[in-house]
Structure 1
């Protein structure tokens, strides 16, 4: 049952990304182009997503486990440190260049978008590099 629930949640999330335009890099880049032909419509998508996440995190904070018995672990770090700032900058730069962030990029791969596949490969390489760096630094 947990696999079916994850599949269903992923499908709903992916369909939501497609309907909202988040899986369309041109729409995302139009939203990020404040000096040009700015398209503010994704602001409402993000506002809705923040509202849903707020409710979800509040509900999760009151529970110890999921309905399937898995433990719920929420992030505890609150400090804004150098790795967080650098990671945020890299994320934002990548989003601004490619018009993809991880979720919409995976949807784009499913829609057979070559740029999405390239983005996901670069994302996986970056994740691997981060993990390698973390292991060698320890």
Structure 2
């Protein structure tokens, strides 16, 4: 059941990104270009997503003692803002601004088979692997 719900959620998420234009790097860069020809349409997409998500989160999810498809909720309790978080957020922002795409839309766009998206996704996966290896090495040294 959990796999089916996850698949449906992923398909809906991907379709939403495609319909809204969030998989189009030119549209994303237009949204990020606040000093030039700014395209505010993605702000409405994000606002609409929050308008749908927040009531369900507070009225449905927060009132339940257990989730429908799992044994317990997996909500983060980490509130620490450290160098690792700031560095990761900065790299994410730089990459998003330079390429006009982030991980979710990149995975959605893979179905189009465009070489730049494939290169971006492979580079992202290599980056995940490198940071995982660095974390393991750092943990082994301690």
TM-score (norm 2): 0.88
> What is the aligned partner in structure 1 of residue 50 from structure 2?
50
Where does structure 1 differ by over 6 angstroms across 4 or more consecutive aligned residues? none
Q: Report 1:90-109 matches (<5 A).
A: 90-109=91-110
Q: Tell me, in whole angstroms, the C-alpha distance in 1 between the residues paired with 2:107 and 2:79.
A: 29
Bigger drift between 21-30 and 107-116 goes to 107-116
Whether the aligned pair in 1 keeps the contact of 2:2 and 2:70 (CA below 8 Å) is: no
- CA distance change for structure 1 residues 64 and 129 in 2, over 3 Å: closer, same or farther? farther
> What is the aligned partner in structure 2 of residue 29 from structure 1?
29
Task: Provide structure 1 residue ranges, at least 5 long, that are not aligned to the other structure.
Answer: none
- Bigger radius of gyration, 1 or 2? 2
Report the alpha carbon displacement of residue 54 of structure 1 after superposing the two structures with TM: 3.2
> What is the aligned partner in structure 2 of residue 122 from structure 1?
123
Q: Tell me, in whole angstroms, the C-alpha distance in 2 between the residues paired with 1:4 and 1:110.
A: 20
Q: Higher RCO, 1 or 2 (CA under 8 Å, sep at least 6)?
A: 2
* Alignment RMSD: 1.6
Summarize deviations over 1:97-123 as a string: whole Å, max 9, x none: 111111100011012222211111111
TM-score (norm 1): 0.90
Report the alpha carbon displacement of residue 131 of structure 1 after superposing the two structures with TM: 0.6
The alignment of Structure 1 onto Structure 2 pairs a total of residues equal to: 138
